[in-house]
Amino acid sequence: MTLPELITPFADYDFMRRALAGASMLTLGATPVGVFLMLRRMSLMADAMSHAVLPGVAAAYFFSGLSLGAMTLGGLTAGVLVAIATGWAARHSVLFEDTAMGTFQILSLTAGILLMTAHGRPVDVLQLLFGSILAIDRDTLTLIALVASATLVLLALGWRILVLECFDAPFLRRYSPRLSALAHYGFLVLVVLNLVAAFHAIGTLLAISVLILPAATARLWVNGLGKALVLAAGCGILGSYLGLVASFRWDLPAGPAIALALALPYLCSLFLAPHGFLRRRRPRKQHLEN
């Protein structure tokens, strides 16, 4: 692929520039959340919550059509309710948290698809599931920018507490149960916010890719939290750019193309990164000899 082919789509077409702006802003807000999700070992919970957004979005679509405000509010409400219900089921029954997440994930996905198909517009089902980032408008760009800005500000304000909960959650619960609960549930709200923003760009089924794939790629290359945040954001923006270029060049669906462009560096890093499969299998050098 030549240099003009990498630049021309964004120089000549407004919809490509809007798509790139939306994907970049989404990445700036979602990748830090993804790094903390990975550190807290909550990646599967985020996947379940991405499906939990679907019934709220579908219900809003059923009553209000493609209303940005209604679908955002519906998705946020459904995601928060499912997160609370998952925690309640895990705390007040014999079920473990992974089982509770799996059951609510299935229920949410089933309810969402039934609500959408009941509307009688199967084409819109694909749009909701896989997104339409090439058709993104200014209102959606504004929403994504607000979510990304709020995420970065809140992460900066709660940095110390979030880091402490990631690495020593029992100590934080003993020291201050209120701070521990605030950090836990506040972080879940941030996850839902970014999943809703990602839904507007690449759909509910692919929203999790922006949070998890760049974070996992960064973790295979670096150890420090700050370095991981910067590298994850860079991987996310570059992957979004290359995914949009591939979508334009070969007439591919933009959402899946972005997800694939984010997945390829991760797959390569599994083998080539310092913490990947091949590098970790090498015998360590002995510092001392007999």
Closest CA to 109 of 175, 38, 63, 58: 58
Contact 184, 164 (CB under 8 A): no
Would you give the distance in Å from CA 170 to the centre of its chain?
A: 26
> Is 146 inside any structural domain?
yes
Altogether, the residues listed in the chain come to a count of 290
> Is 285 inside any structural domain?
no
What is the pLDDT tens value at each position of the chain, 290 positions in all? 676 778 888 988 999 999 999 999 999 999 999 999 888 887 777 777 888 888 888 788 777 777 888 888 888 888 888 877 876 776 667 777 667 777 887 888 788 778 777 755 554 566 767 778 888 989 999 999 999 999 999 999 989 888 888 888 788 888 888 888 888 888 888 988 999 999 888 887 788 899 999 999 999 999 888 999 999 999 999 999 999 999 999 998 898 999 999 999 999 999 888 887 766 655 555 544 44
> Is 276 inside any structural domain?
no
Cβ-in-10-Å burial (0-12, 13-18, 19+) of 85 comes to middle
Query: How many structural domains is the chain composed of?
Result: 1
What is the distance between the terminal CA atoms of the chain, rounded to a whole angstrom?
54
> Is 288 inside any structural domain?
no
Contact 218, 235 (CB under 8 A): yes
Task: Using alpha carbons, list the distances in angstroms from residue 260 to 153, 210, 249, 257, 267.
Answer: 29, 11, 15, 5, 10
pLDDT of residue 150: 95
Given its phi and psi angles, is residue 131 left (phi above 0), alpha (psi -120 to 50 degrees) or beta? Answer: left
Question: Model confidence over 235-286: pLDDT tens digits?
Answer: 999 999 999 999 999 998 898 999 999 999 999 999 888 887 766 655 555 5
pLDDT of residue 155: 93
pLDDT of residue 123: 45
Residue 182 structural domain: 3-269
> Is 95 inside any structural domain?
yes
> Is 286 inside any structural domain?
no
Question: Model confidence over 103-119: pLDDT tens digits?
Answer: 887 888 788 778 777 75
- Structure tokens of 150? 């709020």
Neighbours of 158 (CB within 10 A): 17
> Is 205 inside any structural domain?
yes
Task: Using alpha carbons, list the distances in angstroms from residue 255 to 31, 58, 263.
Answer: 17, 19, 12
CA Rg value for the chain: 20
CATH classification of the domain holding 205: 1.10.3470.10
Residue type, 287: H
pLDDT of residue 287: 47
Task: Using alpha carbons, list the distances in angstroms from residue 83 to 76, 88, 161, 232, 256.
Answer: 11, 9, 20, 25, 26
How far, in Å, CA of 263 to CA of 217, rounded? Answer: 9
Reported pTM:
0.86
> Is 237 inside any structural domain?
yes
Helices (H), 65-176: 68-91, 97-118, 122-130, 138-157, 159-175
pLDDT of residue 120: 56
